[in-house]
Chains A and B, each alone.
Chain A
């Protein structure tokens, strides 16, 4: 079996949970998908029931789990976060753990605690601009410096750090500088993810038109080729539309196939940005949701995609983003409205 076949096989044997176990957050970012921040987390015993359900389900499916722990802001409940990392670290059903954070609450003490977990493979810090001026416009004053400090602390403790850059109209001209910043900070990877416009305001203020997105993706790709020759920084391009730039990159979204999103109250979504509730893990369990959701079954059938995505030459390695299709045109099976193919 060659490397690509092995990677493909590995992907089929894996299942990814993105678990927003907290709703609380210390920031109020302009583009946040949350509408509320005040709900308390579930009682501790229920949180660990959710973890157990995830574990038992993977055992039944004979799959190995990856879990990303996030919020809200996961570091707002550091003890709970560490206990959850510990739980998954001990589990035979989970191979990798990640934390998705705004980076503003990280200190040496917590970094040292996290270092002890061998399955903690990545801490992703959100950075929305290469300068405080741009980043703080989106995430609030003073938070750029805190996030950079958080990254430096994590790197000091030799943890794997990635940056998540959410691309939109307010920061699109800064993307190359953010990549340069990532290299300067010696982070391990950067993902550039286009924003999902979940409101009409987002559509007006944040949404990038296809032709412009094409130009930006080309610029990123050229910088990627340059940087990856000289440094260890990986610029991740495994999401839909990237294959239109280079057929060797990109990827079909795993939603409905090998991933699920769980919110702080146990609600289950196909993905965080596709806000169609599928049920609740505590009352419905995962089997009922995974096996009986009409939404998931539709998403799994590529022949049901409409518009440009239907029958597209690049379908196997793209398929567009279902959440962007849903929020822009109201149809999660519609074409990706940011696809620039004619």
Chain B
């Protein structure tokens, strides 16, 4: 499902989730659902993107930062990122929040 959103929309990580970065059992990046206990193993890119959703930056800014960080083909990166954000919104990993 392609949820419509505005580039100036602000999102943050839901309080039901917690991001973790560190050495543990050879994995480094995790997303924990602290309500139902589900553990998501992330890659570095997903971790970095999710970390940017701080409830202050809007989507446009986050995309700019991401493209600058990973320097790839802009149109493809933007499309991939938008898909990820849609998924995270659907799963309520990201929620509306902040100004």
Binding site for B on A (CB under 8 A): 57, 60-61, 285-288, 291-292, 297, 300-301, 303
User: B18, B37, B38, B39 — which one has the most chain A CB atoms within 10 A of its CB?
Assistant: B37
Q: Is the CB of B37 within 8 A of A60?
A: yes
How many angstroms between the C-alpha atoms of A300 and B23 in the bound complex?
A: 9
Q: Is the CB of B34 within 8 A of A291?
A: yes
Total number of B residues with any Cβ neighbor in A under 8 Å: 14
Q: Is the CB of A60 within 8 A of B32?
A: no
Q: Is the CB of A300 within 8 A of B32?
A: no
How many angstroms between the C-alpha atoms of A1 and B34 in the bound complex?
A: 34
Q: Is the CB of A300 within 8 A of B24?
A: yes
Give the nearest-CB partner of B35 in chain A.
A287
- Distance to closest chain A CB from B47 (angstroms): 15
**Residues in chain B near residue A285, CB distance under 8 A:** 34-35
Q: Is the CB of A60 within 8 A of B36?
A: yes
Other-chain contact of B34, A61, A287, A297, A303 (Cβ < 8 Å): A287
User: B18, B22, B34, B36 — which one has the most chain A CB atoms within 10 A of its CB?
Assistant: B34
Binding site for A on B (CB under 8 A): 18, 20, 22-24, 30, 32-39
Q: Is the CB of B23 within 8 A of A287?
A: no
- Distance to closest chain A CB from B38 (angstroms): 8
**Residues in chain B near residue A300, CB distance under 8 A:** 24
Q: Is the CB of B22 within 8 A of A288?
A: no
Binding site secondary structure of chain B: strand
How many angstroms between the C-alpha atoms of A12 and B17 in the bound complex?
A: 25
- Distance to closest chain B CB from A62 (angstroms): 11
Other-chain contact of A303, B18, B23, B36 (Cβ < 8 Å): B23
Give the nearest-CB partner of B25 in chain A.
A300
Binding site secondary structure of chain A: helix
How many angstroms between the C-alpha atoms of A287 and B18 in the bound complex?
A: 10
How many angstroms between the C-alpha atoms of A226 and B18 in the bound complex?
A: 52
Other-chain contact of A292, B24, B32, B37 (Cβ < 8 Å): B32
How many angstroms between the C-alpha atoms of A288 and B20 in the bound complex?
A: 12
**Residues in chain B near residue A286, CB distance under 8 A:** 37
How many angstroms between the C-alpha atoms of A255 and B20 in the bound complex?
A: 19
Q: Is the CB of A291 within 8 A of B18?
A: yes
Q: Is the CB of B24 within 8 A of A288?
A: no
**Residues in chain B near residue A303, CB distance under 8 A:** 23
Q: Is the CB of A287 within 8 A of B20?
A: no
- Distance to closest chain A CB from B34 (angstroms): 4
- Distance to closest chain B CB from A32 (angstroms): 34
With contacts A287-B32, A292-B18 known, is A301 near B23, CB below 8 A?
Answer: yes
How many angstroms between the C-alpha atoms of A75 and B19 in the bound complex?
A: 42
Q: Which 10 residue pairs across A and B have the least CB separation, nearest first?
A: A291-B32, A60-B37, A288-B34, A287-B37, A287-B34, A292-B18, A291-B34, A291-B18, A301-B23, A300-B24
How many angstroms between the C-alpha atoms of A309 and B37 in the bound complex?
A: 32
Can you list 7 A-B pairs with a CB-CB distance of less than 8 A? A60-B37, A285-B34, A287-B36, A288-B34, A291-B34, A297-B24, A300-B24
Q: Is the CB of B24 within 8 A of A287?
A: no
Q: Is the CB of A297 within 8 A of B37?
A: no
User: A60, A61, A286 — which one has the most chain B CB atoms within 10 A of its CB?
Assistant: A60
How many angstroms between the C-alpha atoms of A301 and B90 in the bound complex?
A: 34
- Distance to closest chain B CB from A46 (angstroms): 20
With contacts A291-B32, A300-B24 known, is A57 near B37, CB below 8 A?
Answer: yes
Give the nearest-CB partner of A291 in chain B.
B32
Q: Is the CB of B35 within 8 A of A297?
A: no
**Residues in chain A near residue B34, CB distance under 8 A:** 285, 287-288, 291-292
Give the nearest-CB partner of B39 in chain A.
A291
With A287-B37, A291-B20 already in contact, 5 other A-B pairs whose C-beta atoms are closer than 8 Å: A60-B38, A287-B33, A287-B36, A291-B30, A297-B20
- Distance to closest chain A CB from B37 (angstroms): 4
How many angstroms between the C-alpha atoms of A287 and B34 in the bound complex?
A: 5
Give the nearest-CB partner of A286 in chain B.
B37
**Residues in chain B near residue A61, CB distance under 8 A:** 37
**Residues in chain B near residue A301, CB distance under 8 A:** 22-24
How many angstroms between the C-alpha atoms of A294 and B74 in the bound complex?
A: 37
- Distance to closest chain A CB from B98 (angstroms): 21
